[in-house]
Each structure stands twice: as structure tokens, then as C-alpha cells.
Amino acid sequence: MATASPSPLSTSHPPKEDPTSASALSAHHHPLSLLPKCNSLKQLKQIQAFALKTHLRHDASVVNKLVSFCTRCPNDASMAHAQKLFDEIPHPDIALFNTMFRGYSRGDDPLRAVALFVRVLSLGLFPDGYSFPSLLKACAGAKALAEGEQLHCFAVKLGLTHNVYVPPTLINMYTECGDVDAARRVFDKISDPCVVTYNSIITGYARSSRPNEALALFREMQASNLRPDDVTVLSVLSSCALLGSLELGKWVHEYVKRHGLDEYVKVNTAVIDMFAKCGSLEDAISVFESMKIKDTQAWSAIIVAYASHGHGSRAISMFEEMVRARVSPDDITFLGLLHACSHTGLVEEGYRFFYDMKNIYGIDPGIKHFGCMVDLLGRAGRLDEAYNFIHELPIKPTPILWRTLLSACSSHNNIDMAKQVIQRIFELEDTHGGDYVVLSNMCARAGKWEEVDLLRKMMNEQGAVKVPGCSSIEVDNVVHEFFSGDGVRSVSTSLRHALDQLIEELKLVGYVPDTSLVCHANMDEKDKEIALRYHSEKLAIAFGLLNTPPGTMIRVVKNLRVCRDCHSAAKLVSLIFSRQIILRDIQRFHHFKDGECSCGDYW
């Protein structure tokens, strides 16, 4: 009799067994041995079922491990299961509570940790040094300052504020809740702060847009012989970027290379962002090109860098390279592309990227992307189109969106639409001083002084305050700040005289002060010219001319948009003094050289 040949589907190797199948479970004496192989909530429930079957449901070590698994990467389902397991334990100890705190603090509903803490108190248990870090992290995630302050008081009462883990999380909680001064008070009470503690407060200052304090603490940290790590460097680079402090940024970059921190993609990306925001696009490009690994964030950073410096076409070509490299773009990538189109008038290209991000890449546009589109259309003078775009949005428009259109109305001197737009803004927010100022200036230029008086009266009644113009310049590693109007108050006599002389020299080559920008009915032309003369960016440029060698590049950072008059003056300064000036305002960079600006006056 012939022997049957084996089926082509048969195999001499037995199929792999699910480590949580019934036969596998019975092969082990204790379910804890299976947890390292567990990779889903479904498998965990199988292990739990085996624990029930083998009468281990009340074994503390088993339950603790099951709960710990659920809280490792928490989501709604895993935390619900963890809570169910936890509720079945008759006498949970503080360690198990801490596990639950940690899970909730990492999840979508962090204040559940604080609610659970009430049960700790009702049971007469005492929280320890592992309890408060998770609880404070939960308050930070929920921006729950009041609950965080109560926990702080409780930690003081228990004498746990000197625990190595508590002060950094206290500092983080306060900064995340917007009270960086309270965070600093916590820091100042620490007798011997470590690197982690310094990182917490430095990061807090950086995130709160207080870069000077962050950099001062960084120097203090170095003086304490503590070695900054990648976390420190990320915050310090962010602070350098905020200030436009290129020299310090270069020093930090050298530190990064010296200590091998350039192996971190995130650090290199932060260096690119810092160089770009400090006005050195060349350095940003150099760092990007030297990176061995370029992820989405790195590509996005260089695209944003090109866009903010007015190189729209290059930003788009970098995106094309990114696609060829098979790196997936994200929402920041498209923000950079839309900025690039906006600053160079590429309206049709902007529309294409806006629709491609959703239709091709599956990225839902956010409020910033909508704002870029309004800015793109507004700069191009397509005001009606921008107005309709806002009206047709799938979300409720924010004041910022309308404010973007208001700025475009001012640029194109469309006072009728500006009045419609400002009504939309006032329906949402009526305390922003800049809104009143923009429309007031438009009315003043049109000679509508009654409307100017009405707007100023409304501004006073609402308590709205105009943000003063502020410009900074770094000279010899020191950042100097100037505010508009300082020339007639606190600026040194030598700087005031230098600026006065500078303006007279500019007039000789054709500079005519644009006094139409000064909208005060009771000021004559001479007073208006003086007001223009002491704008913050002019003060900073004059300071740079006075305190740097001939031919040296001048870099200025301004907190608002540069005005037309200062823009014209800067072009002439670059021409007659043979200086390159890089001015970063709130929207973009202006590179002045040989009497021209990189923006081509499209700004």
C-alpha cells in the first residue's frame, strides 16, 4: 500500500502558542511569570482569569502587577479596568494608590488622581514622596492651580518638600498653571538644587516667555559646577531664540557638540530653530545638512526657517525633498509651507497645500492654518475672499483670525471692511488695545477725527492697553532692550545724539519721515517726526552702529510688526553705512542690504 504524501500545508513544527492561552497558563505555577509577555488588555484579562481560577485573586503581588500593567500606558479602557481591580481590594496600601495616581496623571482625565487622593485621607493613610509627584503632575496636566496649591500645603505639612522628587514637580505644576513666580519661590527655598530642579525652573521661564531669567539661571547652574543635559539645552536654546541672542546661542551649540548632545535629533532641531530665529539662516542650514538622521520635526524646522526668512520657493523645494526622502509631514510642516506662500504672495500654491494637507496627508487643519490662509489672502489684497473664507470655516472664528484680516485692511487702507471686521472682534473680545489702535489710525489717516475720539474713549472705558513697541539687540553677549519713546526719557545722551545725527544723514539721501503713521490731531509735523524718530527699532539700530565695528552685521528683534517708516530708514542705513541689518519682527525676518530688503516690500 502506497504511503500518502504529506500535505503541502503540513509542517513539522508545531504552531506557536499564545502565551496567555489556557494550555500555556496551566503550564505555569504563577501568573506573574506571564506578565512580561503580556502586550494587550485582552491578554491581561486572560491572566486575571487564571489568577481567579487558581485562587490568587486576593494575592497582593498579583493584583499590584495587574494594576501596574494597566497604568503603564493608560487609556480610558485600561484605567477603567485598573479602577475596577483597585475597587475590589479591601485594604489598598499607599503603594497601590501611588500606582493609580501615576496612571491617572498620564491619562486624559488627570484630576481623577486628585479625587482618588481624597480616599487616601479618608482611610487615614499617609502619602509619601512617591505620591506627590504624580498628583502634582495631574494638576499640571489639568491646569488645576487651586488643587495644586492645596497639595503643596499638604506636602509642607508632611515635611515632604525636601524630597528629591517633589520640588521639580511642584515647580512644573506652578509653571504649567501660569504662576512662574510661585515656581521661583519654591526653587529659591531649595538649599542644594540638582540638575533636574534647575531644568524645571529654566524650562518654566522659557515656556513663560521670560528668557532673561532662564539664561540667568543657566549661568548660575554652570557656576554651581552642575553639568547641563539635553533637557537644559533645549530650554536654553528656546530662550536664545526668544531673545535673538545669537552669540549665546552659538556658545550653547558649541557646548552641544563638545558634550555629544548633537546625537539627539531633538537637540539638533532646537539648534536649527534657534539659529533661524536669531537671524542666521546659514547656520541653521549647516546644522540641518550635517544631521545624520532627519525626522519630521527636523524637516519642518528647516522649512519654517526658509519661510520666515522670505525664501518661499526654497521652503517649497525642501518640502519636495522631504517627500522624496519618504518622511511624513505633519501640521507644523504645512504651517511652514503656508507661511512661505503668504510672505511671497504665492496664493494658488497656498490653496494647493491647504487642501493637500487634508485630502492627501490626512491632516486636519487647525486654527493656525486657517490664520495663515487669511493672512495669505489679506496680504494679496483679496480681502473679500479672506472675509468669506472666515465665514465658511467649520469652526467658530477666533479674535486672532479676524485680527489678521484687520491688519490686512489697514495695509490696503480698506476702512469700510475694517469697521465690519472690528465689530466681529468686539463680539468676541473688546479689551485688546491693538484693535482700537489699528482702526483709530486708519480713521485718523482719513481725517475722521470724531471716530478717532470715539474709539479712544471706548478703549479707555474697556481698560484696553496698547502694547509698547520693544526692540532688542545683542552686543558683546549682552542683550539691550529699547522701548518706543525711550529717546525722550531714559536713553543715554550719547545714543539720543547719535540717533538725531543718523536721521539727519538719512535725510540727505532722500529719507522723508512718514508722519502719516503718527495719528494725533494735537501734534504738529515736528512733534510727529520726533515721535517717529524714537521708535524702538531705530534706537536699537543706532545703538548697534554706535557700539559695533564698521561692517559688522546688526541684528534686531522687535515684539511687534516693524512700521513702514522704520523699514524705509533701515534700508537707507544699510546703504550709506554698508551694514547688513537683520530685523526680526513678530511676523518674519527682514534682511536689509545695499538699500534693499529681502521682503521686496511685500509685508
How does DSSP assign 298-350, residue by residue?
HHHHHHHHHHHTT-HHHHHHHHHHHHHTTPPP-HHHHHHHHHHHHHHT-HHHH
Task: Please name the residue that has the C-alpha cell 479672506.
Answer: 386
* Non-local CB neighbours of 4 within 8 Å, separated by 6+ positions: none
Backbone angles phi, psi at 524, to 5 degrees: -85, 180
Among 256, 296, 305, smallest CA distance to 276 is for 305
Q: What is the mean pLDDT of each run of 10 residues along the chain (603 residues)?
A: 39 44 46 60 62 53 74 83 85 92 93 94 92 96 96 95 93 96 96 94 95 94 93 96 93 95 96 97 98 97 96 97 98 98 95 97 96 97 97 94 96 95 95 91 88 90 87 91 73 88 95 83 81 93 96 95 94 96 94 95 82
What single-letter DSSP state applies at residue 503?
Answer: H
Burial of 28 (0-12, 13-18, 19+ CB in 10 A): middle
Backbone angles phi, psi at 264, to 5 degrees: -85, 125
Residue 325: count of CB within 10 angstroms of its CB: 9
* Non-local CB neighbours of 303 within 8 Å, separated by 6+ positions: 315, 318, 319, 322, 333, 336, 337, 340
Backbone angles phi, psi at 298, to 5 degrees: -65, -45
All cell numbers assigned to 153: 500645603
Q: Which residues of 576-599 are buried (b: 16+ CB within 10 A; e: fewer)?
A: ebebbbbbbbebbbbbbbeeebbb
pLDDT at 487 (0 to 100): 56
User: Cβ distance 514 to 564 under 8 Å?
Assistant: yes
* Non-local CB neighbours of 210 within 8 Å, separated by 6+ positions: 180
Q: 475 forms bridges with which residues in the sheet?
A: 478
pLDDT at 61 (0 to 100): 67
Among 416, 432, 439, smallest CA distance to 467 is for 432
Burial of 331 (0-12, 13-18, 19+ CB in 10 A): middle
Q: How far apart are CA 172 and CA 203, in angstroms?
A: 8
Q: How far apart are CA 506 and CA 570, in angstroms?
A: 10
All cell numbers assigned to 465: 492697553
Give me the sheet containing 581-584, strands edge to edge: 478-483, 470-475, 554-558, 581-584, 589-593, 596-597
Q: How far apart are CA 369 and CA 353, in angstroms?
A: 10
Q: 589 forms bridges with which residues in the sheet?
A: 584
pLDDT at 15 (0 to 100): 44
pLDDT at 464 (0 to 100): 85
How far CA 261 is from CA of 45, 217, 240, 255, 305, in Å, comes to: 42, 20, 17, 8, 22
pTM higher than 0.85? no
CATH class of 52-192: mainly alpha
pLDDT at 10 (0 to 100): 37
User: Chain-centre distance of CA 358, in angstroms?
Assistant: 23
**What is the torsion angle, in degrees rounded to the nearest 10, for the CA atoms of residue 550, residue 551, residue 553 and residue 554?**
40
Among 591, 583, 548, 593, smallest CA distance to 563 is for 583
Task: Please name the residue that has the C-alpha cell 496698547.
Answer: 466
- Residue ranges of alpha helices (H) inside 143-245 are 145-157, 166-176, 180-188, 195-207, 211-223, 230-243
Parts of the chain belonging to CATH 1.25.40.10: 52-192
Q: 483 forms bridges with which residues in the sheet?
A: 470
Helix, strand, coil % over all residues of the chain, rounded to 5: 65, 5, 30
